[in-house]
């Protein structure tokens, strides 16, 4: 079933890179239900091959992949297909991962599991931003920057920082704050 609109054309082509076949299939089903044409690859190497062989509007990659992780894939995609928006997924709440992904020009950083409606809306936003960036780059003779064109990267919930193990313990309680760690 296609999303709203009379056209049988997909809203865009999305390549999903995730080594977890269950989550990859979840992404495929959700995005397909939103009217997108979705391809899947289990690792960075096969994704790079497919990016060279076919035209895509968005790459969604897990950060934890075998052999070549999602951040290295992002770096290689920036060289191979500079105007392609890339969203990085993670099941691990890590500020370091998020900073690295966004510094590497990821258009979005998403915490698994991504709610269905948010995933579809964010994919549409990133594809449109990527198209706008490529059109502007073609008109001005510059390099497309879909990460900048995507605008507010805070559209989806951010990963929560780890809980403070000392939260709720008064600062003057030196017994709890100076206990040896295990």
Every domain of the chain and the residues it spans: 13-177
Write out pLDDT tens, residues 2-28. 444 445 678 999 999 999 999 999 999
Class of 13-177 in CATH: alpha beta
What one-character DSSP code corresponds to residue 179? Answer: S
Write out pLDDT tens, residues 105-114. 788 888 889 9
Q: What average pLDDT score do residues 117-121 get? A: 96
38 to 35, 57, 73, 101, 144: CA distances (angstroms): 9, 10, 18, 22, 23
Beta pairing partners, 88: 61, 109
């Amino acid at each position: 079933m296609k999303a709203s609109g009379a056209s049988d054309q997909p809203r865009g082509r999305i390549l999903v890179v995730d080594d977890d076949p269950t989550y990859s299939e979840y992404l495929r089903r959700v995005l397909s239900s939103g009217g997108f044409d979705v391809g899947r690859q289990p690792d960075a190497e096969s994704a790079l091959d497919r990016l060279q062989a076919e035209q895509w509007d968005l790459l969604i990659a897990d950060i934890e992949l075998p052999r070549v992780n999602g951040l290295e894939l992002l770096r290689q995609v920036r060289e191979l297909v500079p105007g392609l928006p890339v969203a990085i997924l993670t099941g691990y709440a890590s500020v370091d991962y998020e900073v690295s992904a966004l510094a590497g020009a990821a258009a979005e950083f998403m915490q698994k599991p991504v709610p269905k409606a948010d995933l579809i809306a964010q994919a549409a936003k990133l594809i449109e931003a990527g198209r706008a960036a490529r059109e502007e780059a073609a008109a001005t003779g510059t390099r497309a920057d879909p990460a900048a064109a995507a605008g507010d990267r805070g559209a989806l919930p951010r990963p929560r920082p780890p809980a403070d193990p000392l939260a709720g313990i008064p600062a003057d309680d030196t017994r709890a704050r100076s206990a040896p760690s295990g």
